[in-house]
Copies of this chain bind each other. A is one copy, B any other.
Amino acid sequence: MREFELIAELTRRFGATTSAGCLLTGIGDDGAVTALPPGHQLVSSIDSLLVGTHFPNDSPGAMVGYRALMVSLSDLAAMGAEPLFVLLALNLPASAESWALDFADGAREACEATGAKIAGGNLTRGPLAVTVSVHGSVPAGTAVLRNGARTGDYVYVSGHLGGAAAALRTGFASSALSDRFWRPRARVELAPVLRQMANAAIDISDGLLQDLGHLVRASGCGAELDSARLPVFPGATPDDAWYGGDDYELCFTAATPPPFPAWCIGRIVAEPGVRLDGQPPTRAGFDHFG
C-alpha cells in the first residue's frame, strides 16, 4: 500500500470528516482548522508510546490505538478540560499497514467514547511509535492546575488503583487486570465537576505517590495519607496501588466531597512532602530515564 492510499484508508477508519463540531477543516490540508467554543481557552498535551517500552512488541493495533488516545486524553481530564481534537504521529515499520488500520479502529473507539475528533496526523517509517497531541477546552480561567491545593483540602482518587501495575507484574494474569492496563478510561466525564470543586488535580500515570508529589510540590504544601483508606484494585497489592502507574485515574484535592464516587485518602498539610501513615514513602517513583 502506498503512503497516500494508506492515509486515505486511515482517514476513513478514523471516521474523520472534513468538519464535525469544533473541527472546520480536518485531515488533508497543511493544518487542521478548529474553532473554540466562545469564551473558552485551549488545553493541550502531548504523549508518546513506544513499542517495547510502553507496550509489548506483539500488541494488537486496536488495543494500542485505544490506549494511546486514552492515556493522552487523561491529561485533559486532569485539567478539567473537555476533549476537542487530536493530532496523531505514527511511526510504522515496513509491512505494518494492517496494524495501522487496526490502530485507527481503536483510536476511533476512544474518540467516540470521549467526544474527541481526529483532526490530522503524520506518517513516518521506522520503529513502531505513536505520538498523540490532544486538545480540549475550558471556560476561560477555569482550568484545574497542579498548584492550587490548599492546607486542609481533602485528597481524593477517582477509582481503585494498582490494577494496571498488577497486570504488568503478573503477565496479565486475569482479564480484569488486563483491562485495567489496556482499557483505561480517561475520566473526561469528571471535568465539569472538577472545574467547580477541585483546587488541584493530576492524572495518575507514574504512580500515585510520585504524581501526588508533583502536585504538592507545585502547590507549596504537603500531604498526609492514610493507607487504610486506599482503594486497591482487586488482585493488586497496596504497593501496586501506591507506586504503580498506568491506571489513569485522577488524584485531586478539594475542600468538600465531590458529587461523584471518589475515595478520600488523606489531607493537604503545610509541611512539604508526602507521608504515608506518618512516614515518608519507602520506594522512589518511576523515572522514565532510570
Chain A positions near chain B (C-beta within 8 angstroms): 1-4, 6, 24-25, 28-36, 41-48, 50, 52-54, 75-76, 78-79, 81, 85, 87-89, 91, 119-127, 129, 131, 133-136, 138, 140, 143, 145-147, 201-203, 218, 287-290
Q: Is the CB of A288 within 8 A of B123?
A: yes
24 inter-chain pairs at a CB distance below 8 angstroms, sorted by A residue, are: A3-B289, A28-B218, A30-B75, A30-B78, A30-B79, A30-B146, A31-B78, A31-B136, A33-B138, A34-B44, A36-B36, A42-B135, A44-B87, A44-B133, A46-B88, A46-B89, A46-B120, A46-B133, A48-B89, A48-B122, A50-B126, A53-B125, A54-B124, A125-B289
A3-B289, A289-B3 known; A29 vs B146 contact (CB < 8 Å): yes
- Indicate whether A45 sits within 8 Å of B3 (C-beta atoms), given known contacts A127-B126, A143-B25, A146-B30: no
Distance between Cα atoms of A287 and B7 in the complex (Å): 12
Q: By the criterion CB–CB under 8 Å, are A89 and B47 in contact?
A: yes
Query: A4 contacts which chain B residues (CB < 8 A)?
Result: 287
The CB with the most chain B CB atoms within 10 A, among A42, A135, A140, is that of A42
Establish whether residues A289 and B75, one from each chain, have CB atoms under 8 Å apart when the complex forms: no
Contact call A44/B2, Cβ cutoff below 8 A: no
Give A114 Cβ to nearest chain B Cβ, in Å: 15
Q: Check B47 against A42 for contact (C-beta < 8 Å).
A: no
Report which of B33, B34, B53, B133 forms a contact with A133, defined as CB distance below 8 A. Answer: B133
Known: A6-B289, A123-B288. 20 other contacts (CB 8 A): A3-B289, A4-B287, A28-B146, A31-B43, A31-B45, A31-B78, A34-B44, A35-B42, A44-B85, A45-B120, A46-B88, A46-B89, A46-B121, A46-B133, A50-B124, A53-B126, A125-B289, A127-B127, A131-B131, A133-B133
**Measured between C-beta atoms, what is the minimum distance from A146 to chain B in Å?**
5
Closest to A205 in B: B30
